[in-house]
Structure 1
Amino acid sequence: ALYLRHTPELFRKVRDAIGFGPHLLHDAHHRLTPIEAARLGKALEPFSLFWLEDATPAESQDAFRLIRQHTTTPLAVGEVFNSIWDCKDLIGNQLIDFIRTTIVHAGGITHVRRIADFAAMHQVRTGFHGATDLSPVCMAAAVNFGLWAPNFGIQELMPHNALTDEVFPHNYRFADGHLVMDEVPGLGVDIDEALAARYPYERAYLPVARLRDGAMWNW
């Protein structure tokens, strides 16, 4: 497939341009079959990725065993998981390297702590989902959790727009490559209810994804 040929070449050119200092991560967005993911992971090994994310649909647990047999590229998955049972086998069998559950989706801080503790027993680190579909409240919780987690790996951050930051004033901030937070009450985030009332909910949609032949495809 064109994707499987293009992606390794992309990372080769990036490494040629910036060297091996910066970490590089790649999200396959659940779109590959297990053998395609295995092939991609193997092809990407020379470029030392920090992780290959969501290489194949996360619900297919056994697929990660096949991928693991063919590549040493670190694997990350879990943003669609809702409990420790969703990732029990992946972690227990060390089929992944990073667990990407989110606090708001996976039972709150109490339950996610169970996942992190279990992951620590199997040398699996955290790498929580942090896209803008999660509010600054969730991000503040994730930052606090990451400051505690002994097996913290990395925290994904997609900055919210300025208006969202105004509605949810928060203490966490990105500085010198790190998410930092002062010693503040609670999670270090608040909500400006008066400002929020000026912006009622508006339904939004992801762009339509299409294959090269024009056929619609899922995200």
Structure 2
Amino acid sequence: MRQHTTTPLAIGEIFNTVWDYQQIVREQLIDYVRSAVTHTGGITHLKKVLDYASQYQIKSGMHGPTDISPVGMAAAMHLGLAIHNFGIQEYMQHGEKTDQVFEQSYTWNDGMLHPGDAPGLGVELNTDEAGKYPYVQAYLPYNRLADGTVHDW
């Protein structure tokens, strides 16, 4: 049985499979499952992880940084609306160019996301707008120790 503390446990790392979460959920070492739909095998797989976590009163902590497209953001929001153990939705607004390429029905207002009224996930790709921006490969920066060794974030 988990001892309760006066402060919530940290959300911790971002994991991607039910196997990543199996032990820490079973032993109730976390309060939130922090994952991105786009990195966790899609809506169905992440829902299975969250269903497993719900058996241990563990909530969702959907990952939503700007390197996840508006499609991924909408998928996470809709999944959060469909589960009973919703906890929190991380959200970062995308830039103007991204918003022009991905037309979104969801809105952010007073600290809440609303899915809008468009069908499906509510995101449409504007191919004409996308054609205005050539592909430029980008990389996340490396985290290095003082001796130059690549290290986990």
| Bucket of the pairwise TM-score, normalised by the shorter protein | 0.7 to 0.9
Counterpart position of 2:117: 183
Say if 2:5 is the partner of 1:75: no
* Cα 1:78–1:172 shift into 2, 3 Å: farther
Instruction: Say if 1:143 and 1:172, in contact at 8 Å, map to a contact too.
Output: no
How far the C-alpha of 1:141 sits from its partner, in A, is 0.5
Counterpart position of 1:57: none
Runs of 4 or more consecutive aligned structure 1 residues displaced over 3 Å after TM superposition: 68-73, 205-211, 214-219
Instruction: Say if 1:78 and 1:99, in contact at 8 Å, map to a contact too.
Output: no
Which has a greater percent of helix? 1
How far the C-alpha of 1:215 sits from its partner, in A, is 4.9
Instruction: Say if 1:98 and 1:153, in contact at 8 Å, map to a contact too.
Output: yes
Pick the structure with greater CA Rg. 1
Structure 2: distance between partners of 1:108 and 1:210 = 31
Structure 1 length normalisation: TM-score?
A: 0.62
Pairs within 5 Å for 1:180-219: 180-207=114-141, 215-216=147-148, 218=151, 219=153
Give 1:96's match in structure 2, choosing from 5, 16, 30.
Answer: 30
Structure 2: distance between partners of 1:193 and 1:171 = 17
Instruction: Say if 1:78 and 1:100, in contact at 8 Å, map to a contact too.
Output: yes
Secondary structure class of the residue paired with 1:179: strand
The CA RMSD over aligned residues, in Å, is 2.4
Secondary structure class of the residue paired with 1:194: helix
How far the C-alpha of 1:208 sits from its partner, in A, is 5.8
**Once the two structures are aligned, what percentage of the paired residues are identical?**
45
- Give the total of aligned pairs: 150
Structure 1: distance between partners of 2:16 and 2:144 = 28
| Structure 1, unpaired ranges of 5+ | 1-64
Q: Deviations over 1:130-176 (max 9, x none)?
A: 11111000001011111112110110011110000110010111111
